[in-house]
Amino acid sequence: MHRYVMPGVSRREALKCAGAGFGYLAFAGLSTMAAESSNPLAPKPTHFPARAKHVIFLCMEGAPSHVDTFDYKPQLGRDNGRSMPGARTRAARLLGSPWGFQQHGQSGLWISELFPELAACADDLCLLNGMHTDVPAHPQAFLQLHTGVSQFKRPSLGAWTFYGLGTENENLPGFITIGPPQNNGGPANYGSAFLPAICQGTPIRTAFGGFAGGGGGGFGRRGRSNSSGTVSNIRNPRLDRDSQRTQLDFIQSLNQEALRREQHDPAVEGAIESYELAFRMQAEMPQVMDTSDESAETKALYGIGQQASDTFGSQCLLARRFVEAGVRFIELTSRQWDHHTNLREALPNKAASIDKPIAGLLQDLKQRGLLDETLVLWGGEFGRTPYAQGDDGRDHNHRGFTTWMAGGGTKGGFVHGATDDYGYEAVAGKVHIHDWHATILHLLGLDHERLTYRYAGRDMRLTDVKGNVVREILA
């Protein structure tokens, strides 16, 4: 009994070897087959030459304060304690940043002392200081950040990216979200909505269980040191690899019989293909996620092993490994940036948890020559008020905030846009979330007006009917 499909052999080759390919190969030449052979995973041509091939989105859930991090407002410091005209709360007093800012790098970017490591990468950062969004409430703004709208179920940025570009590695999912958000819309933030299901983000869970991933023998559940999460059903809780291969060969031989009988059945062909991909994923996913082959220096670079930065550092390292492996879009979520109270203590802790990991990621990508083709995004759903809430917190502010980009065809050491003297409202170089989306797609070689999917009688877009590419930041 020969094996019909061998690991590492493409389906088509396998079909040839086994002589079982009557269904597909017999009709492969038919003109009517052309449409059906389109593989949603295959790399697709871009609309124009791409600057970036991969995206790492460092998502800061809860909305980090821009005036304490990347938007230097000396006037706010000078007017500390004064009331602010036009503020939402009448008694609001301006709160100068408790942290000092300094210029860094050749570019002289102003960065707060909260990010000493990241400041060393100033010349790689492209600050968008004129960001704004529609609603100053987490759930709506967080969904808008990911899908463009909050009122309707729409595909997420990662799903659109994967849909537009396909993948470079058919052994892995094209869109991976590490430690995905549970609140503020949860899975809707990495869903595919009406796009093909394969475009949805594959969650790698770190701690939280939830409904999904019902104990499917997740990888790396124990012993977190060399891994940072699990993928649902990626490991067989019973069978070793050889036994499973024997079982899978049997499954595939049954599938081949079915295909031979039906002669033409794309679903069975798809199942045969999907099983081989799944089997390869079982091998490759844990390999990519097993970071034991990384050197001590590399891990130190990401702040792995240090209490503050171990978790996010491990995730950043994972992100780099996924980029190397050809994954198109990787999102990382850092939670609890919602500093209404206890700003002076909590914000430095949060900053410390991501500072070294992100700096390490940028340096590592750069030294491996990957930063040019990898667009790194940093930001939350909005920013925070320049005036205080209580005496040690800041409220939500959607009128002006900061996100930044690095690599992937953006200008390094560059600032685009500005808020007013206090950091309350974007006044120049304004970038709405729709513009941000349009720009990201542009860097990936996709025209946001042409990346469409027909649904409910209409050609849907990530940017709806809006969005302008921020050309000023293109390198």
Partner 1 sequence: MSRWSMRIALYWGMSLAGLGVAAPALFAQSGSEAERMAFFERHIRPVLVAECYSCHSAQADEIGGGLTLDTRDGIRQGGDTGPAVVPGSASRSLLVKAIRQTDPNLQMPPDKKLPAEVIANFERWIAQGADDPRDGEAAVARKYEIDIQQGRQYWAFQVPCDTVPPPVRATDWPRSDIDRFVLAAMEAQGAHPVADADPHSLVRRLYLDLIGLPPSPDDVSQFVALHAQDAQAAVAATVDKLLENPGFGERWGRHWLDVVRYAESSGQATNFAFPHAWRYRDWVIESLNADTPYDQFIRQQLAGDLLPAEDERQRAANMVATGFLAIGPKSLSERNRQQFQADVVDEQIDATFQAFQALTVACARCHDHRFDPIPQTDYYALAGIFRSTETCYGTIRVVQSNHPSPLLELPREADATQPYPPLTAARRELIERQIESQQEQMAELTSRDQLIRRIFMASRVTQLRSQLDLYDGDGMPRPLAMGVRESRQAADSPLYIRGEINQPSDRVERGFPQVLTVRQPAIGSRSSGRRELADWIASPDNPLTARVMANRVWLHLIGRGLVATPDNFGASGQPPSHPELLDYLAVRFVQDGWSIKRLIRSIVLSRTYQLSSQFDYENFEKDPENVLVWRMPKRRLEAEALRDSMLLLGGNLNLQPPAGSLVARGGEGNVGFRITGDPAATETNRSVYLPIVRDQLPEMLTVFDFPDPSLIVGERAATTIPAQSLYLMNNPFVQRQADGLASRVMQASEDDVERIKQAWLLGYSRPPTDSEINLALKFLDDYGVQHSVRATWAAFCQAILASAEFAQR
401 is an interface residue for partner 1 by CB under 8 A: no
Q: Considering beta carbons, is residue 255 or 314 the nearer one to partner 1?
A: 255
Q: Considering beta carbons, is residue 115 or 387 the nearer one to partner 1?
A: 387
Can you say how many angstroms the Cα of residue 146 is from the centroid of all Cα atoms in its chain? 10
Q: Considering beta carbons, is residue 74 or 210 the nearer one to partner 1?
A: 210
Nearest approach, Cβ of residue 267 and partner 1 (Å) = 5
35 CB neighbour count, 10 Å cutoff: 7
Determine contact, residues 64/338, Cβ cutoff 8 Å. no
460 is an interface residue for partner 1 by CB under 8 A: yes
Nearest approach, Cβ of residue 209 and partner 1 (Å) = 6
Nearest approach, Cβ of residue 148 and partner 1 (Å) = 9
Instruction: Looking at residues 355 to 394 of the shown chain, list those that interact with partner 1 (rule: CB under 8 A).
Output: 390-392
Picking from 123, 105, 107, the residue whose alpha carbon sits closest to that of residue 366 is 123
Determine contact, residues 181/142, Cβ cutoff 8 Å. yes
CA dist 210 and 355 (Å) reads 29
Q: Considering beta carbons, is residue 75 or 244 the nearer one to partner 1?
A: 244
CA dist 12 and 2 (Å) reads 16
φ, ψ dihedrals at 357, nearest 5°: -55, -45
169 is an interface residue for partner 1 by CB under 8 A: no
| Residues in contact with partner 1, shown as a per-residue x/- string from 29 to 68 under the rule CB under 8 A | -x-xx--x--------------------------------
Instruction: Looking at residues 57 to 116 of the shown chain, list those that interact with partner 1 (rule: CB under 8 A).
Output: none
193 is an interface residue for partner 1 by CB under 8 A: yes
294 is an interface residue for partner 1 by CB under 8 A: no
Instruction: Determine which helix (DSSP H) or strand (DSSP E) holds 439, and give its type and residue range.
Output: helix 433-443
Determine contact, residues 169/325, Cβ cutoff 8 Å. yes
Instruction: Looking at residues 231 to 270 of the shown chain, list those that interact with partner 1 (rule: CB under 8 A).
Output: 232-239, 243-244, 246-251, 253-255, 257-258, 262-265, 267-268, 270
For 262-416, strand residue ranges (E) read: 329-334, 374-379, 383-388, 394-397, 401-406, 414-416
Q: Considering beta carbons, is residue 56 or 460 the nearer one to partner 1?
A: 460
The dihedral through the CA atoms of 298, 301, 307, 311 has a sign that is negative
**What is the total count of residues that contact partner 1 (CB under 8 A)?**
94
Binding residue for partner 1, selected from 361, 362, 469, 473, defined by CB under 8 A: 469
Nearest approach, Cβ of residue 281 and partner 1 (Å) = 6
Q: Considering beta carbons, is residue 120 or 137 the nearer one to partner 1?
A: 137
Determine contact, residues 205/230, Cβ cutoff 8 Å. yes
273 is an interface residue for partner 1 by CB under 8 A: yes
**DSSP-derived pairing of the beta strands 431-432 and 125-132:** parallel
Instruction: Looking at residues 316 to 345 of the shown chain, list those that interact with partner 1 (rule: CB under 8 A).
Output: 340-341
